[in-house]
């Protein structure tokens, strides 16, 4: 099942505190300067960062309205995600909101600080369980202190809920995948009635499925499964008039406005189908919406909304409410189009053996977008790339949309500061190149990898599907092949000639970063003693390690140890490009001929094993940079400007700095569900 690509970047920590700067709209030319404050808060194991929306001012009023209405629709469903995560989350959140707003006692001291940490963690995770680790948060203050805050603010929290917050044994995990337990009973998530077990759920849905159905519905996607008065299981469907109806009514109000300003008929059709789905809860309409959505490719504004990803359900059936509103990234999209138009030139000039080149290569479509607003399951923690819809049969028949969230990736990049670069770069020139050209280099790498890389090359006649011939090595070899296409052309003067990069310095920055990461930095994601398993990590290592070894006689990449710290320094970029070309030709040969043994040897000899001493060193150096492993975002504020008649004449974008401030604001504006549902 396709999943959002989670941001696995591990980035250095910048200490800062939650600011209280006024929420002023900021012009984009101001943002281009280095003065924008990317990271605004840090607590527990998370960082809170901000992202900007480049090009917002260039949108038409109609496009701005569309993005605004879709954002309001998404935010209106925010409560749903809280309630889905745990049945008492809304009650807890409202108590926190009341305390933060109205507590009259002293707001200082160790207990208050521990309470603030607890509150921030809950807001960040949309509930009392860690958004990623799934464990229930432990309050770092005594129960009596919470009771004091409650009575001193007029907040309301049932005693039984307070009991749960302070009892580590109750509802300890949001989602448990522990095979020794019944995963439904052991998970606290609010998708199933209290006494329902996994076996019953499976039996319930087995009875619904029709064998041989080529267009199966996403059974269970939009309901809670409960036991009726007759003892039989039944679905409480999430729709207007049913469960979560009060929030969905608000969502639909805004979607109706969005439909009126849709950019084209196909987009309007998609929005109207989503409205119908929320009204009826009919899963056939959900499929119809997804088909209309995947065929809507003409607009500048796009969106993801609904009960989408199912990984919060231990049985992978029920979808969490999420919303992402996006606009096309004009610069990255222009670069991608230029590369796509020249896909045949790249194929003709690639170092592949002539018989492995495609005579007619068609670039793959891929979108670079900028997020405008995220809500529900997509906020504050967000994916950096998405591939939807999830239903396999729709993907097969109608295709899918693949997107990279450019401004989110940029914010990760910029907010990380220079700590990691300073620790792992060989010299100041390498740091400067990374600061100046790193983002563009990454961006063009992704474009070449996705648009040209995966589309390039052909199999020899009679050679079967690589999944069959190369088996478990197929995926890392394919990812490495696409990387090598990108690397080879990132140092090609053609890229400058096409106008997508100002000079080959961009290519050099990308080479530096690839080698640094592939030979060294990415090891910090592994535990000591582990080998490299993940396909992308493997391919970065085998590409880099093979190139390093082949370049040894000419000192192409030089390994230096300074003050006990290892550095890999590229001495000859031209020669390294040739080496990447040789390896690309060989990997394409392996794929084109289905040469399992050669693929096995390449991956096993260069991509799997870890140098223990270097690994230990990298882990130690990574610790110096002190990294919060998770990050999430404050959303931009969209503020309509109206004339005397109340007509919207513009929509201004602002970038708030105060995480808790935004959470309290959302609590006031977008809270539509009762405490328990």
Stretch that binds Zn ion, among 5-13, 117-125, 480-488, 547-555 (CB under 5 A): 480-488
Residue closest to Zn ion (Cβ): 482
Cβ 597 to Zn ion, closest distance in Å?
24
Residue 451 vs 501, nearer CB to Zn ion: 451
Stretch that binds Zn ion, among 182-190, 191-199, 347-355, 478-486 (CB under 5 A): 478-486
Pick the closest to residue 381 from 119, 638, 125 (CA basis): 125
Strands (E), 319-435: 321-328, 367-376, 383-388, 401-405
* DSSP conformation letters of 481-508: HHHHHHHHHHT-HHHHHTTS-SSTHHHH
CA dist 104 → 120, 139, 517 (Å): 19, 21, 51
Distance CA 485, CA 452 (A): 7
Rounded to 5°, angle at Cα 268 from 263 and 269 = 145
What is the SS3 assignment for 570?
A: strand
- Cβ neighbors of 375 (< 8 A, separation 6 or more) are 71, 74, 75, 77, 78, 81, 322, 323, 635
What is the SS3 assignment for 235?
A: strand
- Provide the β-strand partners of residue 224: 236
Residue 478 vs 586, nearer CB to Zn ion: 478
Stretch that binds Zn ion, among 196-204, 414-422, 477-485, 487-495 (CB under 5 A): 477-485
| Contact letters for Zn ion, residues 481-510 (x by CB under 5 A) | -x----------------------------
| Contact letters for Zn ion, residues 269-308 (x by CB under 5 A) | ----------------------------------------
Residue 250 vs 479, nearer CB to Zn ion: 479
Residue 148 vs 402, nearer CB to Zn ion: 402
Reported as type and span, the H/E element at residue 301 is strand 301-307
Residue 482 vs 487, nearer CB to Zn ion: 482
Cβ 290 to Zn ion, closest distance in Å?
23
Cβ 459 to Zn ion, closest distance in Å?
18
Residue 184 vs 590, nearer CB to Zn ion: 590
Residue 479 vs 586, nearer CB to Zn ion: 479
Cβ 5 to Zn ion, closest distance in Å?
11
Stretch that binds Zn ion, among 46-54, 352-360, 476-484, 499-507 (CB under 5 A): 476-484
Residue 379 vs 482, nearer CB to Zn ion: 482
Cβ 479 to Zn ion, closest distance in Å?
5
Residue 313 vs 479, nearer CB to Zn ion: 479
Residue 297 vs 387, nearer CB to Zn ion: 387
Distance CA 150, CA 574 (A): 67
Cβ 536 to Zn ion, closest distance in Å?
8
Stretch that binds Zn ion, among 146-154, 302-310, 408-416, 474-482 (CB under 5 A): 474-482
Long-range contacts of 468-475 (CB under 8 A, 24+ apart): 468/594, 469/594, 469/595, 469/596, 470/590, 470/591, 470/594, 470/596, 470/599, 471/596, 473/596, 473/599, 473/600, 473/603, 474/599, 475/535
Distance CA 341, CA 337 (A): 6
Contact 382, 131 (CB under 8 A): no
- Number of residues this chain uses to bind Zn ion (CB under 5 A): 2
Q: Cis omega before residue 516 (within 30°)? A: no
Cβ 409 to Zn ion, closest distance in Å?
15
Q: Are strands 46-50 and 630-634 parallel, antiparallel or unpaired?
A: parallel
Cβ 486 to Zn ion, closest distance in Å?
10
Stretch that binds Zn ion, among 28-36, 136-144, 471-479, 567-575 (CB under 5 A): 471-479
Cβ 456 to Zn ion, closest distance in Å?
12
Query: Which residues are at the interface with Zn ion (CB under 5 A)?
Result: 479, 482
């Amino acid at each position: 099942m396709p999943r959002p690509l989670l941001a696995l970047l591990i980035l250095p920590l910048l200490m800062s505190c939650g600011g209280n700067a006024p929420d002023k709209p900021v012009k984009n030319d101001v943002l281009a300067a280095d003065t924008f404050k990317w990271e605004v808060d840090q607590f527990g194991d998370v960082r809170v960062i901000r992202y900007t929306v480049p090009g917002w001012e260039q949108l038409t009023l109609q496009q701005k309205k569309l993005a605004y209405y879709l954002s309001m629709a998404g935010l209106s469903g925010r409560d749903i995600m809280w309630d889905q995560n745990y049945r008492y989350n809304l009650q807890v959140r409202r108590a926190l909101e009341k305390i933060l707003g109205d507590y009259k006692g002293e707001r200082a001291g160790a207990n208050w600080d521990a309470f603030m940490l607890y509150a921030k963690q809950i807001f960040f995770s949309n509930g009392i369980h860690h958004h990623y680790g799934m464990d229930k948060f432990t309050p770092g203050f005594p129960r009596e202190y919470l009771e004091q805050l409650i009575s001193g603010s007029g907040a309301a929290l049932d005693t039984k809920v307070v009991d749960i917050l302070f009892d580590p044994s109750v509802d300890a995990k949001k989602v448990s995948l522990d095979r020794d337990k019944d995963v439904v009973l052991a998970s606290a998530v609010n998708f199933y009635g209290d006494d329902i077990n996994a076996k019953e759920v499976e039996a319930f849905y087995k009875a619904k499925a029709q064998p041989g159905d080529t267009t199966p519905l996403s059974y269970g996607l939009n309901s809670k499964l409960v036991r009726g008065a007759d003892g039989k299981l039944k679905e409480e469907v999430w729709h207007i008039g049913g469960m979560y109806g009060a929030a969905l009514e608000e969502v639909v109000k805004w979607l109706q406005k969005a439909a009126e300003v849709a950019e084209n008929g196909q987009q309007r059709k998609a929005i109207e189908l989503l409205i119908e789905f929320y009204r009826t809860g009919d899963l056939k309409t959900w499929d119809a919406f997804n088909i209309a959505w995947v065929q809507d490719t003409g607009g500048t504004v796009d969106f993801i909304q609904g009960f989408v990803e199912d990984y919060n359900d231990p049985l992978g059936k029920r979808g969490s409410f999420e919303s992402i509103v996006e606009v096309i990234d004009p610069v990255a999209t222009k670069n991608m189009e230029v590369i796509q138009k020249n896909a045949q030139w790249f194929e003709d000039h690639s170092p592949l053996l002539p018989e492995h080149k495609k005579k007619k290569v068609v670039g793959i479509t891929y979108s670079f977008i900028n997020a405008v607003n995220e809500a529900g399951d997509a906020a504050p923690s967000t994916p950096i790339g998405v591939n939807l819809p999830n239903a396999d049969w729709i993907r097969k028949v109608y295709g899918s949309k693949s997107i990279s969230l450019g401004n989110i990736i940029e914010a990760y990049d910029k907010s990380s500061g220079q700590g990691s670069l300073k620790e792992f770069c060989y010299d100041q020139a390498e740091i400067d190149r990374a600061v100046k050209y790193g983002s563009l280099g990454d961006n063009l790498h992704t474009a070449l990898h996705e648009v040209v890389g995966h589309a390039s090359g052909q199999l020899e006649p009679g050679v079967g599907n690589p999944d069959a011939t190369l088996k478990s090595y197929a995926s890392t070899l394919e990812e490495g092949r696409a990387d090598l296409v990108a690397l080879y052309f990132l140092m090609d003067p053609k890229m400058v000639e096409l106008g997508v990069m100002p000079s080959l310095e961009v290519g050099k920055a990308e080479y530096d970063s690839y080698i640094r990461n592939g030979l060294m930095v990415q090891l910090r994601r592994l535990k000591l003693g582990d080998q490299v398993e993940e396909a992308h990590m493997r391919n970065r290592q085998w590409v880099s390690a093979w190139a390093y070894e082949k370049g040894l006689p000419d000192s192409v990449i030089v390994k230096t140890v300074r003050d006990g710290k290892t550095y890999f320094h590229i001495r000859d970029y031209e020669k390294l490009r040739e080496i990447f070309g040789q390896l690309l030709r060989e990997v394409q040969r392996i794929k084109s001929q289905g040469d399992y043994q050669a693929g096995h040897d390449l991956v096993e000899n260069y991509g799997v094993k870890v140098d223990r001493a270097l690994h230990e060193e990298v882990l130690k150096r990574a610790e110096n940079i002190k990294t919060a492993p998770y990050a999430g975002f404050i959303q931009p504020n969209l503020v309509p400007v109206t004339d005397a008649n109340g007509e919207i004449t513009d929509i201004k974008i602002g970038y708030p700095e105060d995480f808790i401030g935004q959470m309290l604001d959302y609590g006031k504006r977008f809270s539509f569900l009762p405490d328990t549902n």
